[in-house]
Amino acid sequence: MPDSPPAPYSAWIVMGVSGSGKSTVAEALANAMQVAYADADDFHPPENVAKMRSGVPLEDVDRWPWLDTLSRWLVEESPCVLACSAHKQSHRTRLAQHGAAIRFVYLHTDIQTLRQRMESREHFMPVSLLQTQFDAMEPPSEDDALILDGTLPVDQLVAAIVSDARR
Ligand SMILES: Nc1ncnc2c1ncn2[C@@H]1O[C@H](COP(=O)(O)OP(=O)(O)O)[C@@H](O)[C@H]1O
Ligand SMILES: O=C(O)[C@H](O)[C@@H](O)[C@H](O)[C@H](O)COP(=O)(O)O
């Protein structure tokens, strides 16, 4: 029997800086709950990906249309899980603008672990942009998100999120 997602949330956003484990944990969570999954990276227009690949960080002007598309996806696909950096409170507000009842899950991971992970994977995001990810991040409070240690094993992280959903 899948870990079906009870109310009050209709969408989970696994957030954090690059390399924190968003895509891995979000996909495993969606499988456990048997709900829709997406990686926000797949919604970036080519020019955003090219910009980051060239070592230039995105600015908010690059992000707003991307966040608007994601906000619609969250409503259309609910119940669902999304992997998305969601660095700033303004980004998180924008993601909720179409009414999805979102549970943010912040994977807090130390910079050494992040650097090792980013160096050992094939991805458009260069390690050189890691610091700009930290600079952009406005960590959510415990009131606004479930905050987890991104270095824990994936199955433990998924279990913690499912348990939180059932509270
Ligand atoms: N909890 C974890 N423990 C160990 N390795 C992890 C964990 N989560 C992710 N990884 C690995 O770290 C790298 C980055 O994970 P990824 O999901 O791509 O992060 P993000 O989507 O936040 O950039 C990948 O190689 C992935 O296999
Ligand atoms: O808002 C941003 O600056 C981007 O969304 C940025 O966060 C990027 O797309 C990912 O960090 C790269 O992909 P991973 O997070 O999967 O490494």
ipTM: 0.95
Q: Which ligand is the nearest neighbour of the Cα of 150?
A: 1
Residue 155 clears pLDDT 70, i.e. is over it: yes
Q: Which domains does the chain have, with CATH numbers?
A: 11-165 (3.40.50.300)
Closest to 140 in 3D by CA, of 111, 107, 95:
107
Do the Cβ atoms of 125 and 18 come closer than 8 Å?
Answer: yes
Query: Atom 15 of ligand 2 has which residue's CA nearest to it?
Result: 18
Spatial distance between the Cα atoms of 61 and 65, rounded to a whole number of angstroms: 8
Closest to 28 in 3D by CA, of 67, 55, 2:
2
- Helix residue ranges, H only, 77-110: 89-95
Q: Which tokens hold the place of 152?
A: 């824990």
Q: What angle do CA 14, 23, 145 make, to 5 degrees?
A: 10
Closest to 28 in 3D by CA, of 132, 128, 149, 162:
162
Query: Atom 17 of ligand 2 has which residue's CA nearest to it?
Result: 18
Residue 1 clears pLDDT 60, i.e. is over it: no
- Helix residue ranges, H only, the chain: 22-33, 46-53, 60-76, 89-95, 111-119, 130-136, 154-165
Helix (H, G, I), strand (E, B) or coil at 139: coil
Atom nearest to 154 CA in ligand 1: 1
Low-confidence winner among 1-10, 15-24, 144-153 (lowest mean pLDDT): 1-10
Residue 18 clears pLDDT 70, i.e. is over it: yes
Do the Cβ atoms of 128 and 18 come closer than 8 Å?
Answer: no
Q: What is the pTM of this model?
A: 0.95
Which residues approach ligand 1 with their CB closer than 6 A? 16, 18-24, 83, 117, 121, 152-154
Q: What is the pLDDT of residue 4?
A: 58
pLDDT digit string (tens) for 71-99? 999 999 999 999 999 999 999 999 999 99
Neighbour-count burial of 153, counting CB atoms closer than 10 A to its CB (0-12 exposed, 13-18 middle, 19+ buried): exposed
For the chain, the farthest-separated pair of C-alpha atoms sits apart, in whole angstroms, at: 45
**Probe residue for ligand 2, chosen from 52, 123, 129, 131 as the CB with the greatest number of ligand atoms within 8 Å:** 52
Q: Does the C-beta of 71 come closer than 6 Å to ligand 2?
A: no
